[in-house]
Amino acid sequence: MSKLLVAWHHFKTITMHRILVMQGCFKMGLYWQGLTHDLSKYSPTEFKTGVQYYQGDKSPNAAEREAKGYSESWLHHKGRNRHHYEYWTDVTKDRSLGIVGIKMPVKYVAEMFADRVAACKTYEKDRYTTMSPWRYYKRTKEYITIHPETRKLLERLLKMLAVKGEDEVYRYLRYLIRVKKTY
């Protein structure tokens, strides 16, 4: 496949992902976040990697990580997008604890949820079920650095999705964002 054709396929993949996240964000009243979600994927740093390591059924960052031992694209991405729990990490005052997760504002947890659903839909296509985001999370949950309360909310949302469906989760998140403002 020519580089131009690969670039086109990558562009379509990230744009479809953004549209799905946008739809989820709009259901929660997060209009600005929906419109600006993952714009860094179109930056030269991330787009070039996306084309070079494009696979179509999973993130190019995983292939870059496999090839180089790290993903420059991912490091760029997570530092610019607040819906990733990795953005919300820092060294504590007690340096012996090392890097810890910081509690994420509810609006970014909501966007993270929409992002996970959209990523599974984008890459799994017809194989997607409401269990897909939970299954993906379970494969990584043991070694991620995330604030305990953020982890608890994310897990509640993913389990709720599996049992009650997207509309119910988006209604609940809209309530958290508009009324409760915390978790």
pLDDT score at 109 = 98
Q: Is the pLDDT assigned to residue 57 strictly greater than 90?
A: no
Six token digits for residue 12 = 């379509």
Name the DSSP letter for residue 180: I
Residue of 113, 140, 151, 141 whose CA lies nearest to 34: 113
Residues 144, 146, 148: CA angle, nearest 5 degrees: 125
The residue to which tokens 């608890």 are assigned = 152
Beta carbons of 111 and 68 less than 8 angstroms apart: no
Centre a 10 Å sphere on the Cβ of residue 138 and count the other Cβ atoms it contains. 12
pLDDT digits (tens, 9 = 90+) for 10-49: 999 999 999 999 999 999 999 999 999 999 999 999 999 9
pLDDT score at 38 = 98
pLDDT score at 30 = 98
Cα 21 from chain centroid (whole Å): 9
100 beta partners: 90
Q: Is the pLDDT assigned to residue 87 strictly greater than 90?
A: yes
CA distance 67 to 74: 14
pLDDT digits (tens, 9 = 90+) for 107-139: 999 999 999 999 999 999 999 999 999 999 999
CA distance 77 to 25: 19
Average pLDDT score, the chain:
96
Q: What is the pTM of this model?
A: 0.95
Q: Is 90 exposed, middle or buried (0-12, 13-18, 19+ CB in 10 A)?
A: exposed
User: What is the amino acid identity at position 38?
Assistant: D
Looking at 37-159, which runs of residues are DSSP E strands? 89-91, 99-101
